[in-house]
Amino acid sequence: MKRCLRITITAEFPKDFLQSCVKKNAKTLGLEGTAQMSASDGNTILINICGSSDMLEEFLDLFHKSVCQLDISEIEIEPFLKDKDYRDVFRIIE
């Protein structure tokens, strides 16, 4: 079954966190969606990610392992309805 998650996390991120952690794991697991660093503060990342339930759970496991080493201020993970076609690709929006 396919589903989508919206992940919002506020923390102090390493410079290449979106590429080395988020995009790499999403691509490896065959997930689609987007990730974007907030322009206002630079410490908030918004991730929209869709795929099979099993692969999303695997992504969350890998994501939690990566972020548990960071100084996290806030993290939200919530389901959402897919509102656009990501065309089976995961993109970093800069």
Domain ranges of the chain: 2-93
Instruction: Report the top-level CATH class of 2-93.
Output: alpha beta
Instruction: Band the pLDDT of 33: cuts 50, 70, 90.
Output: very high
Handedness of CA 19, 20, 23, 28 (dihedral sign): positive
Enter the tokens of residue 54.
């099993």
The per-residue pLDDT for range 41-90, each reduced to its tens digit, is 778 999 999 999 999 999 999 999 988 888 888 999 999 988 788 888 99
pLDDT(39) > 80? no
pLDDT(6) > 80? yes
Q: What is the pLDDT of residue 72?
A: 86
Enter the tokens of residue 56.
């999303």
Position 90: which residue type? Answer: F
Enumerate helices (H) and strands (E) in the chain, giving the number of each: 3, 5
Please compute the mean of the pLDDT values over residues 32-36 and round it to a whole number: 96
Q: What is the pLDDT of residue 1?
A: 81
Please compute the mean of the pLDDT values over residues 26-50 and round it to a whole number: 91
